[in-house]
Amino acid sequence: MELNELINNISNFTSERDWEQFHTPKNIAMSVAIEAGELLECLQWDSPTKSDLLQDSKRLTSISDEIADVLIYLLRLCSILEIEPISNAERKLELNKKKYPINQFKGISKKYNS
């Protein structure tokens, strides 16, 4: 499935349930944050490695479900606000490349200071 088809499926899912009335930008942004919090809950209280997670199918499914929820809400918000997600992400990546040049930030996790 292509991205535009997924966005259309999300919009149809919403429309079929008459949920557009509840899908304000604020409500959807809040839902993104809530689902991101649920993703964090999947990793709360321990620090599993990538290998640990790949070997724990139940936990990996829980993480996958929360990632899907975050993605669905983000794509819904893009649809509502008429933001094209791929070109928007590419634009932001280009800004980040300028903000975090390799020669100054390679191997360094410090935050950019303006």
Q: What is the pLDDT of residue 99?
A: 93
- Per-residue pLDDT, 109: 86
**Would the pLDDT of 114 be above 70?**
no
- pLDDT of 50-61, one tens digit each? 999 999 999 999
For residues 69 and 39, give the distance between their C-alpha atoms in angstroms, rounded to a whole number: 9
Each residue's pLDDT tens digit, 46-88: 999 999 999 999 999 999 999 999 999 999 999 999 999 999 9
Structural contact between residues 66 and 39, judged by C-beta atoms closer than 8 angstroms:
yes
Domains of the chain: 3-105 (1.10.287.1080)
pTM of the model: 0.91
d(CA 66, CA 50): 17
Residue appearing with tokens 């009335």: 21
